[in-house]
Amino acid sequence: MKLYADTSVRRTLQILGDLAVVLWIWVWIEIADKVHDSTLKLATPGHKIDSSASDLAGRLRDAGRTVAKVPLVGDSVRSPFNGASKAATGLSEAGQQQVAAVGSLAHWLGLAVALIPILVLLSYYLPPRISFVRRATAGQRFLNAGADLDLFALRAMAHQPLHVLARLDPDPAGAWRRGDAAVIDELAKLELRSVGLRPPPRITSADDSVTG
């Protein structure tokens, strides 16, 4: 799999883009973590209510058991303590429910804060990035297999703008049909560069010999 272009400028831009995406993801995960922790602080009153009410319920139960030992009046005096203990237990459960609700809110709020900006960026960044990887990988396989450059020349005539093709030859299709090696090589170079691949040595050496 070919992740980056052969040309230095494009490769540098791709690496910087990938690093920027990683940084973006890290920043929003950190922000989401802080939002999660800040939201959890809203559960502090619930924790205090739960703790205090649980302690109160325990003390009331202990007091009820103590007064129950008083002869003659113990059972009748114990009933109010039991009722108050149940009320305190209900208050404790309300505190626990508040804590659970805040925990759920913190979880989903933190998740939303992280996912929304990350997914928005990836929806724009990943499609062209994946398209490049697929095209560059396929093109490199053809080059490694020694495929004829006519394939890339044909793709260039199908994909490149007409004004770019016109710079190479007034009739690039005719030159291709005639087997004009120079035009075919130039067309192949256009297509290869568009997918981030370096032209094979025989093209560059041919260019050097023509220049010399």
Where do the domains of the chain lie?
A: 1-134, 148-212
d(CA 43, CA 48): 9
Q: Which residue has the tokens 């759920």?
A: 104
d(CA 75, CA 87): 19
Instruction: Say yes or no to pLDDT of 178 above 60.
Output: yes
153, 187 Cβ separation under 8 angstroms = yes
Per-residue pLDDT tens for 141-157?
877 776 677 778 878 88
Q: How far is CA 148 from CA 5, 176, 182, 188, in A?
A: 21, 13, 14, 10
Average pLDDT over residues 35-53: 81
Instruction: Say yes or no to pLDDT of 208 above 70.
Output: no
Instruction: Say yes or no to pLDDT of 103 above 80.
Output: yes
The model's pTM is 0.70
Average pLDDT over residues 54-61: 71
* φ/ψ of residue 60, rounded to 5: -65, -40
Question: Residue 156: which of 130, 177, 185, 119 has the closest Cα?
Answer: 185
11, 5 Cβ separation under 8 angstroms = yes
* 189 burial type by CB count under 10 A (0-12 exposed, 13-18 middle, 19+ buried): buried
Residue 171's SS3 state is coil
Q: How far is CA 108 from CA 26, 35, 115, 119, 156, in A?
A: 18, 10, 10, 16, 49
191, 156 Cβ separation under 8 angstroms = yes
